[in-house]
Chains A and B, each alone.
Chain A
Amino acid sequence: MSLSESSIYAELDKLALPYKIVEDLKANLKGVKITKKQLDTIIERTMEAYGKARVENCEAVGMVAAQSIGEPGTQMTMRTFHYAGVAEIDVALGLPRLIEIVDARREPSTPMMTIHLSPEISGNRDAVKKLAWELEETTVADLGTTSTNLADMTIIIDINEKQLIQRNMTLQEVSDRITEEIGYEVTPGEGRLVIHPAEPSYRDLLQLVEKIRAISLKGIKGIIRVVIRKEENEYVVYTQGSMLKKVINIEGVDAARTKTNNINEIAEVLGIEAARNAIINEALDTLSEQGLTVDIRHIMLVADMMTIDGEVKQIGRHGISGEKASVLSRAAFEVTVNHLLDAAVAGEVDELTGVTENVIVGQPIQLGTGDVELLAVSTSKKK
Chain B
Amino acid sequence: MTSPKRIRKIRFGLLSPAEIRKMSVTKIITADTYDDDGYPIDMGLMDPRLGVIDPGLRCRTCGGRPGECPGHFGHIELAAPVIHVGFARLLRKILRTTCRKCGRLLLDEKTKTDYLRQIKLSQQYGQPIDEIVKNVFKDAKSTTCPYCGEEQKEIKFEKPTGYLEDGHKLMPTDVRDRLEMIPDDDIEVFGMDPKNARPEWMVLTVLPVPPVTVRPSITLESGQRSEDDLTHKLVDIIRINQRFQENRDAGAPQLIIEDLWELLQYHVTTYMDNAVSGVPPARHRSGRPLKTLSQRLKGKEGRFRGSLSGKRVNFSARTVISPDPNLSVNEVGVPMKIAREMTVPVTVTPFNIEAVREFVRRGSDNWPGANYVKRADGRRLKITDKNCAELAEALEVGWKIDRQLKDGDIVLFNRQPSLHRMSIMSHFVRVMPHKTFRLNPAVCAPYNADFDGDEMNLHVPQTMEALAEARILMLVQENILSPRFGGPIIGGLHDHISGIYLLTKGYRMFSEADALEILSKVKLHELPEPAEVRDGVKYWTGKQIFSQILPKGLDMTYQAKICENCDVCKKEECERDAYVVIRDGDLKCGTIDEKAIGAFSGKILDRIVKTMDVQTASAFLDEVTRLAIRAITHRGFSYGISDTDIPRESVAQITEIVLNSEKQVRKLIEAHDRGELEALPGRTLDETLEMRIMQELAKARDAAGAIAGKFLGSQGDNSAVIMARSGARGSFLNLTQMAGCVGQQSVRGERIMRGYGDRTLPHFLPGDRGADARGFVESSYKKGLNPTEFFFHAMGGREGLVDTAVRTSQSGYLQRRLVNALQDLEVKYDGSVRETRGVIVQFMYGEDGVDPMKSDYGEGVNVPRIVESVVNGGESK
CB contacts (< 8 Å) of B387 on chain A: these are: none
**Minimal beta-carbon separation of B490 from chain A (angstroms):** 15
Chain B contact residues: helix, strand, loop or mixed: loop
In the bound complex, how far is the Cα of B193 from the Cα of A302, in angstroms?
35
In the bound complex, how far is the Cα of B822 from the Cα of A151, in angstroms?
68
A360 CB within 8 Å of chain B: yes
Within 8 A of A (CB), among B731-769: 748-749
Contact B815 A337, beta carbon cutoff 8 Å = no
In the bound complex, how far is the Cα of B855 from the Cα of A102, in angstroms?
26
CB contacts (< 8 Å) of A50 on chain B: these are: 850, 860-861
A281 CB within 8 Å of chain B: no
Contact A55 B302, beta carbon cutoff 8 Å = no
CB contacts (< 8 Å) of B867 on chain A: these are: 25, 28-29, 32, 42
CB contacts (< 8 Å) of B854 on chain A: these are: 52-54
Q: Which of B847, B850, B862 counts the most chain A CB atoms within 10 A?
A: B850
In the bound complex, how far is the Cα of B14 from the Cα of A343, in angstroms?
9
A69 CB within 8 Å of chain B: yes
A355 CB within 8 Å of chain B: yes
**Interface 0/1 of A253-267, CB less than 8 Å to B:** 000000000000000
Contact B305 A345, beta carbon cutoff 8 Å = no
Contact B309 A349, beta carbon cutoff 8 Å = no
CB contacts (< 8 Å) of B537 on chain A: these are: none
CB nearest to A359 among chain B residues = B309
In the bound complex, how far is the Cα of B192 from the Cα of A76, in angstroms?
47
Contact B863 A315, beta carbon cutoff 8 Å = no
Contact A295 B304, beta carbon cutoff 8 Å = no
Contact A346 B9, beta carbon cutoff 8 Å = no
In the bound complex, how far is the Cα of B840 from the Cα of A305, in angstroms?
10
B574 CB within 8 Å of chain A: no
Contact B822 A301, beta carbon cutoff 8 Å = yes
CB nearest to A360 among chain B residues = B308
Contact B850 A65, beta carbon cutoff 8 Å = no
CB contacts (< 8 Å) of A336 on chain B: these are: 297-299, 302, 304-305
CB contacts (< 8 Å) of A362 on chain B: these are: 311
CB contacts (< 8 Å) of A332 on chain B: these are: 304-305, 308-309
CB contacts (< 8 Å) of A98 on chain B: these are: 814
Contact A42 B866, beta carbon cutoff 8 Å = yes
A350 CB within 8 Å of chain B: yes
Partner of A300, one of B305, B483, B807, B842: B842
**Interface 0/1 of A348-374, CB less than 8 Å to B:** 111111111001111110111101000
A185 CB within 8 Å of chain B: no
CB contacts (< 8 Å) of A102 on chain B: these are: 814, 817-818
B824 CB within 8 Å of chain A: yes
CB contacts (< 8 Å) of A29 on chain B: these are: 867
In the bound complex, how far is the Cα of B13 from the Cα of A336, in angstroms?
16
CB nearest to B746 among chain A residues = A79
B634 CB within 8 Å of chain A: no
Chain A contact residues: helix, strand, loop or mixed: helix
Given the contacts A57-B829, A95-B807, A344-B197, A323 and B842 also touching, CB distance less than 8 Å: no
CB contacts (< 8 Å) of B803 on chain A: these are: 77-79
Contact B842 A327, beta carbon cutoff 8 Å = no
CB nearest to B869 among chain A residues = A45
Contact A62 B195, beta carbon cutoff 8 Å = no
Within 8 A of A (CB), among B830-877: 831, 833, 835-837, 839, 841-842, 845-855, 857-864, 866-867, 870-871, 875
CB nearest to B819 among chain A residues = A66
In the bound complex, how far is the Cα of B828 from the Cα of A300, in angstroms?
17
CB contacts (< 8 Å) of A345 on chain B: these are: 14, 87, 90, 191-192, 197, 202
In the bound complex, how far is the Cα of B810 from the Cα of A178, in angstroms?
47
In the bound complex, how far is the Cα of B814 from the Cα of A98, in angstroms?
9
Among listed B647-655, B677-685, B787-795, interface-contacting one? B677-685
A38 CB within 8 Å of chain B: yes
Given the contacts A38-B870, A66-B822, A68-B420, A350 and B10 also touching, CB distance less than 8 Å: yes
Q: Which of A55, A333, A356, A360 counts the most chain B CB atoms within 10 A?
A: A55
CB contacts (< 8 Å) of A301 on chain B: these are: 822, 825, 833, 841-842, 845-846
**Minimal beta-carbon separation of B447 from chain A (angstroms):** 12
**Interface 0/1 of B288-315, CB less than 8 Å to A:** 0000001001110010110011010000
B469 CB within 8 Å of chain A: yes
Contact A49 B7, beta carbon cutoff 8 Å = no
**Interface 0/1 of A316-352, CB less than 8 Å to B:** 1001110111111101110011101101111111111
Given the contacts A70-B818, A71-B419, A346-B193, A352 and B8 also touching, CB distance less than 8 Å: yes
CB contacts (< 8 Å) of A73 on chain B: these are: 807, 810-811, 814-815
Within 8 A of B (CB), among A35-66: 37-38, 41-42, 45-46, 49-50, 52-66
CB contacts (< 8 Å) of A320 on chain B: these are: 821
CB contacts (< 8 Å) of A360 on chain B: these are: 304, 308-309
CB nearest to A364 among chain B residues = B4
B485 CB within 8 Å of chain A: yes
Partner of B9, one of A45, A294, A308, A351: A351
B86 CB within 8 Å of chain A: yes
Contact A74 B806, beta carbon cutoff 8 Å = no
**Minimal beta-carbon separation of A3 from chain B (angstroms):** 12
Contact A95 B485, beta carbon cutoff 8 Å = no
CB contacts (< 8 Å) of B196 on chain A: these are: 344, 347
Within 8 A of B (CB), among A1-33: 18-21, 24-25, 28-29, 32
In the bound complex, how far is the Cα of B680 from the Cα of A89, in angstroms?
12
Contact B191 A346, beta carbon cutoff 8 Å = yes
CB contacts (< 8 Å) of A369 on chain B: these are: 465, 469, 473
A163 CB within 8 Å of chain B: no
**Minimal beta-carbon separation of A114 from chain B (angstroms):** 16
B823 CB within 8 Å of chain A: yes
Contact A304 B841, beta carbon cutoff 8 Å = yes
**Interface 0/1 of B522-561, CB less than 8 Å to A:** 0000000000000000000000000000000000000000
Contact B841 A54, beta carbon cutoff 8 Å = no
Contact B87 A61, beta carbon cutoff 8 Å = no
In the bound complex, how far is the Cα of B465 from the Cα of A39, in angstroms?
44
Contact A337 B294, beta carbon cutoff 8 Å = yes
Contact A20 B848, beta carbon cutoff 8 Å = yes
**Interface 0/1 of B411-431, CB less than 8 Å to A:** 000000001110000000000
CB contacts (< 8 Å) of B210 on chain A: these are: none
A81 CB within 8 Å of chain B: yes
Contact A341 B86, beta carbon cutoff 8 Å = yes
A124 CB within 8 Å of chain B: no
Given the contacts A88-B681, A321-B820, A371-B826, A359 and B308 also touching, CB distance less than 8 Å: yes
**Minimal beta-carbon separation of A94 from chain B (angstroms):** 9
CB contacts (< 8 Å) of A64 on chain B: these are: 421, 483, 852-853
CB contacts (< 8 Å) of B485 on chain A: these are: 68, 293-295
Contact A227 B682, beta carbon cutoff 8 Å = yes
Given the contacts A293-B485, A325-B837, A345-B87, A88 and B823 also touching, CB distance less than 8 Å: no
B379 CB within 8 Å of chain A: no
**Minimal beta-carbon separation of B459 from chain A (angstroms):** 16
A296 CB within 8 Å of chain B: yes
A106 CB within 8 Å of chain B: no
CB contacts (< 8 Å) of A338 on chain B: these are: 86
Query: Which 5 pairs of residues, A with B, have the shortest CB-CB distance?
Result: A62-B825, A70-B815, A297-B846, A347-B193, A73-B811
A to B CB contacts below 8 Å, 12 in the list: A19-B848, A20-B860, A29-B867, A67-B420, A68-B483, A74-B419, A295-B483, A301-B822, A337-B86, A349-B11, A366-B826, A369-B473
Please report B residues at the A interface, Cβ cutoff 8 Å: 4, 6-14, 86-87, 90, 126, 128-129, 191-193, 195-197, 202, 273, 294, 297-299, 302, 304-305, 308-309, 311, 419-421, 465, 469, 473, 483-487, 680-683, 691, 748-749, 803, 806-808, 810-811, 814-815, 817-829, 831, 833, 835-837, 839, 841-842, 845-855, 857-864, 866-867, 870-871, 875
Known: A55-B845, A58-B829, A68-B484. 14 other contacts (CB 8 A): A18-B850, A24-B859, A53-B851, A53-B860, A55-B851, A70-B815, A316-B820, A321-B821, A325-B836, A337-B298, A349-B9, A350-B9, A354-B823, A360-B304
